[in-house]
Structure 1
Amino acid sequence: MQFTMWAYPWDLRDEGVDSAAARLQQCGVDEITLATNYHTVQAFTPRNPKRRTFFARSSAYFQPEEDYGLLEPVPYEGMAGDWLAEIAVELAETDISLSSWTIGCHNSRLGMKNPEVTLETAHGDDLVFGLCPSQPAVQEYLCMLVHDLATRGIFERIELETFDYFYGTGFGWHHQKIHAELGTLGEFLFGVCFCEHCRANAADAGVPVKSVRETVATTVDEIITGDVPSTLSPERWVRAHPAVADYLAVRERTLESLYADLASAAGDTPIGSYVGMPEPGNEWLCGVDLKRLGTHVDYYCLPAYESSPDAVLEAYHTVEALTSDVPVHVGLLPGQPAVHDGETLETMVVALRSVDVPRVSFYNYGLLPEQSLDWIENASE
């Protein structure tokens, strides 16, 4: 079993790459998975020698080297030079390897600037936190992003997050206000995209798009009024609406084609995709068919931020059952609110060893207090 650690570039720079690498080696970690293109964030940094919090809008932590077209990564405003390049040079002098943690469609900065390429609800609202992967401009952006990173020759692998139909209301907008009970079904239907390209793709497949859109919009409204229970499972509702099921199937085929292009863009650099959103086994809510996409990725990574070994294994087995012989790596959160002591983390790692999980990732170097690093050190022995 190998161990890696997710990390933010500002934490490595503030502490010093050499110091961080040395601490990670003490922890038994041999790889950093670095946020290279990331969503809007406020991060609390308990061990950072220069700050206790960091704010950033959706930003790239490198200088783009490709001709991206309409959509292009926006370098972080506080970055002088190229943080990725600088970190890679310093890390090359250590025994810690480097991989990329890359956010795709979850980009509120690009969405606000280009609402015409974002997810469009059945009611006609632009969900500006999520770019729509049916849009040709978004597909071009995602492929160029992967190609740009892969051709730098500095990464062991590239991991993809939200390269899909980003779900429902997103991870939450600043001061988000929702005082109606949507439930999983309502949030899912609220987020189903009806942009011009999603509609055109479905129409080409013979789906009655207008009827599907009306059904989705009406159901969202009926969930709000209580005429449709918010507790109704999405699977059951979709089975009762076959035209909607056909519409959703088109999304899965669109992502399959996109992932083939992403694999081509990555060249010889292995790519992995994060799974488990909105929960393990329900990736289809984001348009993801794990068997289809498994043809084009080298592995999946499941962030299983659970509080017991049994819950971690349950999540792992749920995802593994839906894949087609694609390795599944697992992420653990060895701190609040998931894990509260080192013994629990050790038993999680032992459980994952017992089912031959090849790689465990820990979240996240700059977010964890010192005691969590001690837990990792003991668990990785």
Structure 2
Amino acid sequence: MDFALWAYPWDLLDEGVENVATRLEEIGVDEISLATNYHSVQPFLPHNPERKTFFAHASSYFQPDESRYGRLEPVSNETMGEADWLAEIADAIADTHLSLNSWTIGCHNSRLGMANPDLTLTSPFGDSLAYGLCPSQPAVQEFLCGLLSDLSERAPFDRIELETFDYFYGTGFGWHHDKYHVDLGTLGEFLFGLCFCEECQATAADAGIDVEAARDAARDGLSACIDGDLPADASVAGWLQMHPELADYIAVRTETLTELYADLSAAVGDDIDLGRYAGFFEVEDAWMHGADLDALAEHLDYYTVIDYESSRKAAVQRMRTANRLTPDIPLHAGVLPGHPAIDDSATVVDIVDGLADAGAERVSFYNYGLLPERNLDWIGAATQPYR
């Protein structure tokens, strides 16, 4: 079994890439999955020697090649300035035992969304959901393909891993300080986050969908959630069965995303493995992000199942669910060996053993800079039997 750690560039540079590599060798980790294009963030950094937090707008941590982009292009991080952190890290890692992966955020980009509201997810009521670019938009598709093409030629990546290359997380919320005092439930949040931008509507209309009826159904369902006429625990799938016009509208965007992934795969080429994260909420709810896991698998080399569970049983069950939904693609796993998922070393060891027994080919741990030193030692205990 292989082991990786997700990491932010500032942690590697503040501590020194060679020092980080030495620490990771001690705990049995051979890969770094580096944040290269990322959403807005404020992490707490318990062992960083230079700072205890870092504020960043949605940014790239490299200097983009403008020729690869159209209307949209990544914005380099302000703290990085004219430097190129990816290039610095790639050069330094070349002299270590570590291999390098790109951890790449796609549509979750509030900076670009605020500047281009017509390219964002648009609620059934016409609100621009600025945290999320809509992957139905041709300009967004061009941006995503350009980003992967740019990254694939910029550093010797073994893998490029995709996060939020979809219609976000099946919810209408994704800002830093979401505030709402209505219990919308999963159904209400899902309906609020359904995209009715001009491009989504046009694509659905071309497929023969009654777009107005679909939007009316979404609005009426959300209003019923607000008024308390639909219970907060109402089943999303069950409710959609009673509103086939909206279910058909949703199916169109699933086809759109599958077609986009063929282009993403072509942008990366054959020399770098292309992976996607699955299961930030429930693995079986990937369709709520517009993702048919089995269809997308045709254009991917593996999935990493986000398995931030607190017990071996729960972690293994998520892997089994993913394997049932998409049985013909390798599965990796992501583990959070710390707060709020896990409180002790023995649980990390038990979960990793369970994932190995369940057939996981690789485990990634979240996240080098966010974990205290003792938690890094827990990772070492979990990897020891597999070295």
Question: TM-score with structure 2 length normalisation?
Answer: 0.97
Structure 2 counterparts to residues 108-187 of structure 1, below 5 A: 108-169=110-171, 172-187=174-189
Are 1:104 and 2:106 an aligned pair? yes
CA distance in 1, matches of 2:226, 2:23: 51
Who is 2:62 aligned against? 62
Partner of 1:8 in structure 2? Answer: 8
The answer to whether 1:318 aligns with 2:331 is no
**How far is the alpha carbon of 1:312 from its aligned partner?**
0.4
1:215-247 CA-to-partner distances (Å, cap 9, x unmatched) read 101110110101122211111111111111111
- Which among 290, 295, 299 is matched to residue 292 of structure 1? 295
- d(CA) in 1 for partners of 2:95 and 2:249? 51
Q: Closer, same or farther in 2 for the Cα pair 1:326/1:210, shift >3 Å?
A: same
Q: Secondary structure at the match of 2:354?
A: helix
Shift of 1:170: 5.8
**Using the alignment, how far apart are the partners of 1:335 and 1:66 within structure 2?**
39
Matching of residue 35 in structure 1 with residue 35 in structure 2: yes
Structure 2 unaligned regions, length at least 5: none
> Could you say if the C-alpha distance between residues 171 and 361 of structure 1 is closer, same or farther in structure 2, counting changes exceeding 3 Å?
farther
Q: Percent identity?
A: 58
1:375 shift after superposition? 0.5
Unmatched tracts of structure 1, length 5 or more: none
User: Could you tell me how far apart the structure 2 residues matched to 1:319 and 1:193 are?
Assistant: 26
Q: After alignment, is 225-234 or 4-13 more displaced?
A: 225-234
Matched residues in 1 for 2:311 and 2:143: separation?
39
Residues 87, 155 of structure 2: 8 Å contact kept: no
Residues 184-211 of structure 1: CA deviation (Å, up to 9, x unaligned): 0000000000001100111111110001
Q: Distance in 2 between matches of 1:271 and 1:339?
A: 29
Residues 172, 194 of structure 2: 8 Å contact kept: no
Residue 246 and residue 171 in structure 1: after superposition, are their counterparts in 2 closer, same or farther (change >3 A)?
A: closer
Q: Report the Cα distance in structure 2 between the residues aligned to 1:66 and 1:27, rounded to whole angstroms.
A: 39
Supply the distance in 1 between the matched residues of 2:230 and 2:221 (Cα, whole angstroms).
7
Distance 2:3 2:115 in 1: 38
Instruction: Give the letter aligned to residue 201 of structure 1.
Output: T
Which region of structure 1 is more displaced relative to structure 2, 65-74 or 290-299?
65-74
Structure 1 equivalent of residue 76 of structure 2:
75
Shift of 1:143: 0.3
SS at match of 2:55: strand
Counterparts of 1:168 and 1:297, CA distance in 2: 22
Deviations 1:63-116 (A, max 9, x none): 001421111100000104100000000000001000000000000000000000
Q: How far 1:169 sits from its partner (Å)?
A: 4.5
Q: Distance in 2 between matches of 1:200 and 1:51?
A: 48
**Count of matched residue positions in the alignment of Structure 1 and Structure 2:** 381
Structure 1 position 173, deviation (Å): 2.1
* Partner residue, 2:370: 367
Name the residue aligned to 1:231. 233
Q: Which amino acid aligns with 1:173?
A: W
**How far does residue 153 in structure 1 lie from its aligned partner after superposition?**
4.3
Decide whether aligned partners of structure 1 residues 324 and 353 sit closer, same or farther in structure 2, where only a CA change above 3 A counts: closer
Equivalent position amino acid for 1:34 in 2: L
Task: Specify the alignment match of 1:23 in structure 2.
Answer: 23
Residues 46 and 170 of structure 1: CA distance in aligned 2, closer, same or farther (over 3 Å) = farther
Structure 1 position 150, deviation (Å): 0.6
Cα pair 1:294 1:324 within 8 Å, conserved: no
Inter-partner Cα distance in structure 2 for 1:181 and 1:218? 16
Structure 1 residue 152: Cα displacement: 2.1
Equivalent residue, structure 2, for 1:272: 275
RMSD: 1.0
2:49 and 2:97 mapped to 1: Cα distance? 23
Cα 1:153–1:85 shift into 2, 3 Å: closer
TM-score, length-normalised on structure 1?
Answer: 0.98
